[in-house]
Structure 1
Amino acid sequence: MSEKVSFGYEDVAPDEKTARVGGVFSNVAAKYDIMNDAMSGGMHRLWKDKFVSRVKPQPGEAILDMAGGTGDIAFRMAERGADVVVADINQDMLDVGIERAMDRGIDGLSWSCQNAEELTYPDRQFDAYTIVFGIRNVTFIDKALAEAHRVLKFGGRFFCMEFSNTEWSGFKEVYDLYSHRLMPQIGKAIANDEDSYRYLAESIRRFPKPPEFEAMIQRAGFAHTKVESILGGAVNIHSGWKV
């Protein structure tokens, strides 16, 4: 039997998932940042600020921001003087990010279409690797983690922020109702795309729980791993070091 991977609540062939995820992000690229504000009440900006404060980008550091799409994380790290490569498998998302950078007058970023599972960079190239709200959409997460480890220098750091399920009693039920019922409707109203946002909500439910994902990070070779939870685990910042 051929291997199956999750696409939302469906189990599909790996090639089909890659293609369908590509379609999702091509569909939502133009409205992606507006939708992030609408869906999180603007809180995603605070989460991203906290994430970058944990990464502690330094002037002159080489950082790979994978699934960097529209540039939200890269812009913040570039402000601190880091040399950031924004990588994404979806060119439509990169095109939005490039346009945003031009509008803001942000220079010095590099933009590259990359598959997280098969990076074209040599070993030990980067001081830090970041990926925000992107790794759950990767077809084979273990391969992406192995590639992150490979391209980091010794002493390099891995930081990932991803959604999960909150453990806060009361809020958990509200969060489930919101993500399954309201989020697709918001997607339909703002981006005219209910199905893509239904997938994004479902993909959160299928993503490994924080302890499971931390174990995957460790199996990829990272040490000193840590999980920092926000909103009772609805959002988590994962980190590890290549030693």
Structure 2
Amino acid sequence: MDKVNFGDQLVTPEEKTRRVGGVFSSVAGSYDLMNDLMSGGMHRLWKNRFVAKVKPRPGEQILDMAGGTGDIAFRMAANGARVMVSDINADMLEVGKKRAETRGIHGLSWQVENAERLSFADGSFDAYTIAFGIRNVTDIPAALREAHRVLRRGGRLYVLEFSTSEWPGFGELYERYSEHVIPRIGKAVAKDEDSYRYLVESIRRFPRMEQFRAMIGEAGFKSTSVEPILGGLVAIWGGWKI
């Protein structure tokens, strides 16, 4: 059986899916705090920019895959969109539900889903979003094909993810920071150094910007695009089902 990367380790696809689930069950309770600490709060600005690109409209049906704790869904719901928040990890969804209840955010749907094998019918959604989740999917091409399938004709895909900064020197600096500092923050705050070491390794192994843009096109999307942030440390990809 072909092996796949779980961070820097080679494991079976089934083992990767199981172990990724374990990572996010472990970090669910501290996930949002860790995002603030690791990015200096910048993840909030990146997510605002991402939702501005999506342009959610009142009444639209949007699937927010790997939506976990609700950060993207809350922003889109504020614009009147009807959002299905889906994640393979039930613990992450529970955190999101509690956050929505605390904030008085209503009208969201929550459902456990595997991005590679969605239960939704063809043409169910106007938009598909996934933020900081696609790199953890075992079979990324399968997930992109499923995104294409569940979108209506004229629907749009948007992906927010870490990539590799092309700014001279900055990429190397961030590499050292992520390798040596982030796992220590994970150990101190989340009491889980190994999970954050995996998350760093998964970023390092994610395709570069144009390579991932090509993968989106291979899944059937047209008018594909990529917008780098911080030279590509983070990027927003888009594509349309035509």
Shift of 1:211: 1.0
**Secondary structure, aligned partner of 1:117:** coil
Partner of 1:81: 80
Shift of 1:212: 1.0
Contact 2:73 2:83 in 1 (8 A): yes
Partner of 1:114: 113
Partner of 2:36: 37
The CA distance in 1 between the partners of 2:41 and 2:119, in whole Å, is 34
Letter in 1 for 2:62: I
The CA distance in 1 between the partners of 2:73 and 2:3, in whole Å, is 33
The CA distance in 2 between the partners of 1:174 and 1:189, in whole Å, is 22
Contact 2:164 2:209 in 1 (8 A): no
The CA distance in 2 between the partners of 1:226 and 1:4, in whole Å, is 30
The CA distance in 2 between the partners of 1:143 and 1:30, in whole Å, is 29
Partner of 2:8: 9
**Secondary structure, aligned partner of 1:57:** coil
Alpha-carbon RMSD: 0.5
CA offsets per residue over residues 157-205 of structure 1, 9 Å max, x none? 0000000111111212210111100000000011000000000000011
Shift of 1:11: 1.2
* 205-214 or 18-27, which deviates more: 205-214
The CA distance in 1 between the partners of 2:142 and 2:95, in whole Å, is 27
The CA distance in 1 between the partners of 2:187 and 2:165, in whole Å, is 25
Query: 1:163 aligned to 2:158?
Result: no
TM-score, normalized by length of structure 2? 0.99
Shift of 1:39: 0.2
**Secondary structure, aligned partner of 2:181:** helix
Letter in 2 for 1:104: R
Partner of 1:27: 26
The CA distance in 2 between the partners of 1:169 and 1:60, in whole Å, is 44
Partner of 1:179: 178
Partner of 1:232: 231
Letter in 1 for 2:98: E
Aligned residue pairs, count: 242
The CA distance in 2 between the partners of 1:235 and 1:3, in whole Å, is 29
Query: 1:133 aligned to 2:113?
Result: no
Shift of 1:141: 0.2
Letter in 1 for 2:200: A
CA offsets per residue over residues 124-156 of structure 1, 9 Å max, x none? 000000000000000000000000000000000
Shift of 1:6: 0.8
Gaps of 5+ in 1: none
The CA distance in 1 between the partners of 2:212 and 2:173, in whole Å, is 24
Partner of 1:208: 207
Shift of 1:118: 0.4
**Secondary structure, aligned partner of 1:25:** helix
Identity %: 66
Contact 2:187 2:193 in 1 (8 A): yes
The CA distance in 1 between the partners of 2:141 and 2:175, in whole Å, is 27
The CA distance in 2 between the partners of 1:172 and 1:219, in whole Å, is 28
